[in-house]
A and B are shown apart, each in its own frame.
Chain A
């Protein structure tokens, strides 16, 4: 039974993720007084990209060809292993938070290598910036999830959700600090404001986009899909770790449907928050970003001291 839920989550994450990308763009368009593309446009983009040919540079090696598959695999495996809508079978195998952090680091490593592989100027400095930000984000990422695992006395993500859903309002002070820290980390890892502009055309301002300028066709589709999956994974971590009410613990069909609805509502609220944030502030200058990341680290460390 656990395998079935795991496979459902494996397929659910890639199916849902482009939708939330479309929602963000729609909300941003409304803030810019436009109508904007339909929320299903990312699906059409992916479909069209799978039907296009590819052009691969002659300088690219097997790493360039292999990376999109690996990154997509890692994101859907992660999506299957974190609590999305059900608390039913704590999937012990990959739900340790350190495993999650280091699998994300593995995908960033290969993406950065693929950026350098083609030998273009953009890919190189995109990789440099991405690895700088990834190196500094790991501290905040590990510490925010660590604070929660001290509360729950276990590093398993499912146990954390079970514990936090039993908390009274009074114990919430440190969790709010950790939430702010996790939000900062999420914005950095998923390449949104103020760390990176996902819609920019200026290569000098790109971080994540710069590394994928060389991809086309089906590999580009896989990488864009993987980025959308990563966004959904971080959003669900944020929603389910900090607001875990609504996760179903029973196996009958109606509670699963209800849990899915609650999950979508939570993710929509967080997506709206990110979209409003993107419309309100500007992208920070690159050398101001480490201050923000160290702030996230310090907030989580303070939360740990408060918890223990």
Chain B
């Protein structure tokens, strides 16, 4: 027990500060702007449910990395939840394979309004490297209406974080 505590207290903090986030990224939001009302609602607390519709798991790794001690997405009030009923935003990865089509629709219907759908990764946006395959329906927007897209194969956690914050447009205004 003592070794555990000494390790906890001797490790230095490595969280990247906010103002270095937008330094070298050219972040442009593809999609409509969030309604002011919803922006105010989700500003302090956003619950994300992640759906993997047949991806290569690369995007999932990057999304998992968002919660670690380096990027620490929780400090912005964003958290991942266990059920779409609890979620505000659905992050969909992977080109929608045929088997996951119905599950994706069910998840979409199980999420209460108001909700935001984000397609993460090139696969989710238009099929990526799997485009035109017989086994996938190219892209999430062929199944459910998508509000925002985050490009990249896979997008790094820094990119995802910048896009998320841009979507919420909170930190920019706070730090100005």
Contact = CB atoms under 8 A, between A and B. Distances in A.
Interface of A: 29, 31-38, 40-41, 44-45, 48, 51-55, 200-201, 203, 206, 209, 213-217, 220, 279-280
Nearest to A29: B74
B85 A37 contact: no
Nearest to A216: B85
B69 A33 contact: yes
Nearest to A201: B82
Interface stretch (B40-48, B126-134, B142-150): B40-48
A200 B79 CA distance: 12
Interface in B8-45: 8, 11, 13-15, 41-45
For this complex, into which size category does the number of interface residues on chain B fall? 20 to 34
Contacts of A214: 83, 85
B173 interface: no
Interface in B61-111: 68-69, 72, 74-75, 77, 79-83, 85-86, 88, 109-111
Contacts, number: 85
Given A44-B44, A280-B4, 20 more contacts: A29-B74, A32-B69, A34-B69, A34-B74, A35-B74, A36-B72, A37-B74, A40-B44, A41-B44, A45-B47, A48-B45, A48-B88, A52-B113, A53-B113, A53-B114, A201-B80, A215-B86, A216-B112, A280-B1, A280-B5
A164 B23 CA distance: 60
Given A34-B69, A44-B77, A55-B112, A200 B82 contact: yes
Contacts of B11: 33
Contacts of B5: 280
A203 B110 contact: no
A33 B69 CA distance: 6
A34 B111 CA distance: 29
B5 to A, nearest CB: 8
A209 B114 CA distance: 23
Nearest to B43: A44
A215 B45 contact: no
Given A34-B69, A35-B15, A36-B74, A55 B110 contact: yes
B8 A52 contact: no
B45 A41 contact: yes
Nearest to B38: A51
Question: Which secondary structure dominates where chain A touches chain B?
Answer: loop
Contacts of B43: 44
B41 to A, nearest CB: 5
B123 to A, nearest CB: 23
Nearest to A37: B74
A279 B140 CA distance: 39
A37 B77 contact: yes
A40 B110 CA distance: 28
Given A31-B8, A48-B41, A53-B113, A213 B75 contact: no
Contact of B114 (A36, A44, A52): A52
B23 to A, nearest CB: 19
Contact of A54 (B8, B75, B112): B112
Nearest to A206: B82
Closest 3 CB pairs of A and B: A44-B44, A216-B85, A44-B45
Contacts of B15: 33-35
Contacts of A29: 72, 74
Nearest to B80: A201
15 contacts: A32-B69, A33-B15, A34-B15, A34-B69, A34-B75, A38-B75, A44-B43, A44-B77, A52-B114, A214-B85, A216-B85, A217-B112, A220-B85, A279-B8, A280-B5
A48 B72 contact: no
A133 B11 CA distance: 37
A41 B42 CA distance: 11
A35 B18 CA distance: 12
Given A33-B14, A45-B45, A48-B41, A215 B75 contact: no
A134 B8 CA distance: 34
Nearest to B17: A35
Contacts of B86: 213, 215-216, 220
A140 to B, nearest CB: 25
A92 to B, nearest CB: 40
B59 to A, nearest CB: 17
Given A35-B72, A44-B44, A213 B4 contact: no
